[in-house]
Amino acid sequence: MSMIDKQVSRRRTFAIIAHPDAGKTTLTEKLLLFGGAIQMAGAVKAKKEQKGARSDFMKIEQDRGISVSSAVMTFEFEENIFNLLDTPGHEDFSEDTYRVLTAVDSAVMVIDGAKGIEAQTRKLFEVCRLRDVPITTFVNKLDREARDSFELIDQIEQDLALDVSPVTWPIGSGRDFHGCYDLVNDQLLFMEKGGNVVKEAIPIKGLDDPKLDELIPDYLLEKLREEVEMVREICPPFDLQSYREGHLTPVFFGSAVNNFGVRELLRGIGEIAPTPRPQEAATRLVEAVEPKVAGFVFKVQANIDPNHRDRIAFIRLCSGHFKRGMKLKHVRAGKLMAVHNPMLFFANERDIAEEAWPGDIIGIPNHGTLRIGDTLTEGEDLRFRGVPAFAPELLQKVRLDDPLKGKHLQRALEQLAEEGASQVFKPMMGADWIVGVVGQLQFEVLKERISAEYGIKVHFEQTPAYAARWVVGDDPLEIKKFRDANQSALFEDHDETLVFIARNAWHLETTQRDWPNLKFEATREQN
């Protein structure tokens, strides 16, 4: 096996998707413990403590600061290298989350056993489905009273239209929780009283093994036998291909806070989750094991030091063996850039990356040249697809407290938009810029950042703006006619693409009807 084959086969790049409070942070912490990144446990926790920080600038800053270093967490466990990409944890749904999911090969869906699938789980799942990202399910909090396991499985199956194949099966829940039965290896995963003790599984010769009688009370054992029989009858057996194609999800049960079921989950990911997948570029499919380096930017983050306008672009390597100091072609700009200080991320630490392999994420410090969606290669003019911009759901007018700062504001808005935190729309007529975000909290973060990083005071005002749509058409004449007829509703985004902002639903509908040869798109590929 060549070096690159070997390195690719060890990589698992994934994200965790969950509704807030289902246990994503706790699970992350425990996964990192298995990966030996013990010093990390505190940092993940610290981030969680920022959750209530709605308007306190320092806290938002700290939150961002920590998320710079925990945006990617790389750890090793039993021969494999795991790159866990953090999906931003705000309750406000953010576009960042979508983009992170374009850079992973699989996902773990965490569900609270008492609540089942919740709103955000569903939304995030839909994003995974768009790209057929394979999903492993972890039903968490079994140490609390949970819903009936069959009911949970049924809900996943119905709500998400997925085949469900349990890998483990819980024995009781709440105070009665005794652990899980490993359906694949016929083992008992016994939960010691007191929790948080990670023990090896106990091998069992079928469900009639007397060892079970010693450890599990009769009434639970009887139930377990019945349930396992039913599972084997009604649930499809695990099928690797179906999972890899995104049609089937293996399910693990556990309790993250007690570190129960986490190792089995991690082993499961190691065994079945896909290695770095081929990535689609405009001209061809790029295989991970190709010798030349290619990658794309899926996230840009400003450094926490407000006095320096430098940023880190997070690159997902799709192919090749990357080495520090390499000259890579920034395809959009058509220029070569030497990458002298690439970063790798280990839990709460970052380090200079001497080398990296497909599936890895490297951070490249830069002054704004690298944007979300950009492709870097060893020379080929590739453009990776699939890093979308979404039409923002909330639109407000941005107003300066000091009207003389117009130019500065423009620069601030454009730089922040390049980072992907918001979108800005410059009016064709008039002077009022409109800012669009996906979650309300982002307005607040923006206001604080414009003040702290650019020294400009602004406020946001409601404006009759219902939806933003990118206007696309094949006929330049038609577009010109449309421009002339709708000036007051037209804007340009930071890439100077034409955007129509409708005042209300009726305005959007009638305009779409009146211009049938134009497309009004709610998403746009970035590059």
**Listed ranges 180-188, 256-264, 265-273, 411-419: which one lies at the site for ligand G4P (CB under 6 A):** 256-264
Task: Give the range of 99-107, 252-260, 267-275, 459-467 binding ligand G4P by CB under 6 A.
Answer: 252-260
Counts of helices then strands in the chain (DSSP H, E): 15, 33
Interaction between residue 526 and ligand G4P (CB under 6 A): no
Q: Which is nearer to ligand G4P, 256 or 300 (CB)?
A: 256
What is the 8-class DSSP label of residue 236?
A: P
Task: Between 13 and 26, name the residue whose CB sits nearer to ligand G4P.
Answer: 26
Between residues 16 and 68, which has the closer beta carbon with respect to ligand G4P?
Answer: 16
Residue 257 engages ligand G4P in binding (rule: CB under 6 A): yes
Stretch that binds ligand G4P, among 139-147, 149-157, 409-417, 514-522 (CB under 6 A): 139-147
Classify the C-alpha dihedral 226-229-234-239 as positive or negative: positive
Instruction: Spell out the SS3 assignment of 81-112.
Output: EEEEECCCCCCCCCHHHHHHHHCCCEEEEEEE
Q: Quick one: which of 4, 9, 20, 130 contacts ligand G4P (CB under 6 A)?
A: 20
AA letter at 291:
P
Name the residue nearer to ligand G4P (CB basis): 86 or 418.
86
Please identify which residue in 61, 143, 182, 493 interacts with ligand G4P, judged by CB under 6 A: 143
CB of 171 to ligand G4P, least distance (A): 15
**Could you tell me which stretch among 162-170, 253-261, 431-439, 494-502 binds ligand G4P (CB under 6 A)?**
253-261
Residue 347, token pair as written in the block: 């839990």
Q: Provide the residue type at 345 as one letter.
A: F
Please say which residue, 196 or 487, places its beta carbon nearer to ligand G4P: 196
Per-residue x/- track, 23-62, ligand G4P (CB under 6 A): xxxx---------------------x--------------
Q: How far is the CB of 140 from ligand G4P (least distance, A)?
A: 5
Residue whose tokens read 């105070």 = 175
Residue from 54, 59, 144, 383 that binds ligand G4P (CB under 6 A)?
Answer: 144
| One residue of 4, 9, 21, 187 binding ligand G4P per CB under 6 A | 21
Q: Which residue from 81, 68, 137, 127 is spatially nearest to 101, judged by alpha carbons?
A: 127
**Residue among 314, 320, 328, 326 at smallest CA distance from 287:** 320
> What is the size of the binding site for ligand G4P (CB under 6 A)?
17
Do the bridges between strand 361-366 and strand 355-356 make them parallel or antiparallel, or are there none, so unpaired?
unpaired
Pick the stretch among 22-30, 350-358, 422-430, 519-527 that binds ligand G4P (CB under 6 A).
22-30
Contact between 256 and ligand G4P (CB under 6 A)?
Answer: yes
CB of 332 to ligand G4P, least distance (A): 35
DSSP codes, 250-311: EEEE-BGGGTBSHHHHHHHHHHHSPPSPPEEBSSSEE-TT-SS-EEEEEEEEE-S-TT---E
CB of 59 to ligand G4P, least distance (A): 16
Tell me the residue ranges of DSSP E strands in 391-463.
Answer: 394-400, 423-427, 434-437, 458-462
Structure tokens at 256: 């993250």
Closest approach of ligand G4P to the CB of residue 173, in Å? 11
Residue closer to ligand G4P by CB (options 262, 302) is 262
Shortest spacing between CB 126 and ligand G4P, in angstroms: 18
| Closest listed residue to residue 224, CA positions, set 269, 265, 178, 270 | 178
Minimum CB separation of residue 518 from ligand G4P in Å reads 42
Residues 49-69 as b or e (16 or more Cβ within 10 Å = b): ebeebeeeeeebbbbbbbbbb
Q: Among residues 22 and 391, whose Cβ is nearest to ligand G4P?
A: 22
Joined tokens for residue 373: 């969606």
DSSP symbol at 341: S
Contact of 322 with 377, CB cutoff 8 Å = no
Nearest approach, Cβ of 8 to ligand G4P (angstroms)? 30
Per CB under 6 A, 176 contacts ligand G4P: no
User: Cα(323)–Cα(357) distance, rounded to whole angstroms?
Assistant: 9
Interface contacts to ligand G4P, rule CB under 6 A: 18, 20-26, 48, 140-141, 143-144, 255-258
